[in-house]
Chain A
Amino acid sequence: MSDSELLVEEKNIVVPGELLAKGIDFLPGYGSFKEDGEIRSKILGLVKVKEHIISVVPLSGIYIPMKGDGVIGIVSDVQISSWLVDINSPYIGFLPLSEGTEEFIDLTRSDITDYFDVGDVVYVRINKVTKRKDVQLTMKDRMCRKLYGGNIIRITPAKVPRLIGRSGSMIEMIKKKTGCHIIVGQNGLVWIKGEKETLAAKAVLMVERESHTEGLTDRISEMLDKESGKEVIE
């Protein structure tokens, strides 16, 4: 009926302004826009086609908070009845007292730094993001807690989905083979705690570097086996 046409293939690398599809049968998704009936890429990334929605998966970029994301943050300031949390983004996370703890706190008597103080690392969930990008956080979630010890490494937020893998396959493998506790924040911060911290960090950084290549899971698995074997012998 209409002369709609898809001009790219799945997983093609596209640059900003590149033509992805023509006609009314396609809709722009994340990373693409429509202009004069043509769908074009907004960013440098890989094409993803799902039914009639064409989106572009970014290869680089910063973290923009989204509702429901679990992120790792560092408390940057304590106010009278709230905390400000640095979430590795241009926007600061706001954690009000009521969302920070379920206990009753009498502000006239207690000091809220007993709960979280400046410099503490927390795993928090994003509760709300306004249109003007004001970010409200919450700790009222099964996963959310203060993180003690361990190390934090930073990766490009765009590579986080690859690090987690399909239904957590990649991260589960790294956890199993290194025996470390690993928490991945959607904002690109990765918390690692355990004996083989350096090996786990090496694997995470390798995923970041080679995220767009094929057969990565096997290579990571191989590398982890080889490296941990070496440690046993020495």
Chain B
Amino acid sequence: MSEGKIIVNGKRPDGRKLDEMREIEARAGVIPRAEGSGYFRLGNTMAVAAVYGPRELHPKHLTDPLKAYVKCRYNMAPFSTTDRVRPGPSRRSTEISKVIKEALKSVIFTEEFPKTGIEIFIEILQADASTRCVGLNAASIALADAGIPMKDLIASCSAGKVDGQIVLDVAGEEDCEGEVDLPVAYIPRKNKLYLLQMDGLITKDEIKQALNLAIKGCKLIYEKQKEALKKKYENFEVSE
């Protein structure tokens, strides 16, 4: 496999074109006991997010008298990958929790809830690359579902470089064997990036190309998120 090409005749291992996304599924309100919750699936990567609060914050010393404190926990379920993930926080999950928190914090109107904490829990049920993007998408739906005032919904997806070619939405084999992974979080109307990370080697032109491709994917995801939130109330079945 190491010598073989991943992309054959412009087709990727799962049969997608270079600029094609995986199947998207989004739902709002999946956890009844939480203030708001969301489910997001991108091919084989699935995430559930729950939002609690604004509520009294613990530990108390984190409280800010002027605005709400945003807490975020990203966690991978032990059964989410082929190798068992050791439960509990790790270097990787702490980092991802932080970048997701920073992205979400910038869209929430935190000054409306002084002295409180907003807690976001993201659980990755199945991982097949771009878990941080899927987690962020689920969290964004959950926050809106919880009735928390936000400037906009955040959409996120990844681009990458595989076999020297720029591809959208890196998955599975491409993530392990590929050269570059570039997760992006984006708000269409502001044309602003809220998360941008990268590993691997890439040229200036290629990064521009990858960024444009990822932004295209984010726009698609944004529409799906909107749809999911509206669907919760529109396709509502009344009793008898």
Contact = CB atoms under 8 A, between A and B. Distances in A.
Given A17-B187, A90-B54, A90-B56, A60 B115 contact: no
B89 interface: no
Contacts of B230: 13, 15
B229 interface: yes
Interface residues of B, number: 36
A143 interface: no
Interface stretch (B77-85, B140-148, B168-176, B204-212): B140-148
B148 A43 contact: yes
The dominant DSSP class at the A interface is loop
Interface string B143-173: 0111111111100000000000000000000
A212 B109 CA distance: 25
B36 interface: yes
B74 to A, nearest CB: 22
Contacts of A31: 149
A209 B107 CA distance: 29
A221 to B, nearest CB: 13
B36 A60 contact: yes
Interface string A103-140: 00000000000000000000000000000110000000
Nearest to B189: A17
B229 A15 contact: yes
Given A15-B229, A16-B153, A17-B187, A42 B239 contact: no
A62 B114 contact: no
Contact of A16 (B35, B115, B150, B234): B150
B115 A132 contact: yes
B236 A61 contact: no
Given A13-B230, A59-B233, A90-B115, A43 B153 contact: no
Interface string B107-130: 101001111100000000000000
17 contacts: A15-B225, A16-B149, A17-B189, A19-B189, A42-B151, A43-B147, A43-B149, A44-B144, A58-B147, A61-B35, A62-B53, A90-B55, A133-B113, A133-B114, A210-B239, A212-B233, A213-B236
Interface of A: 13, 15-19, 31, 33, 35, 40, 42-45, 58-62, 64, 90-91, 132-133, 158, 206, 209-210, 212-213, 219, 223
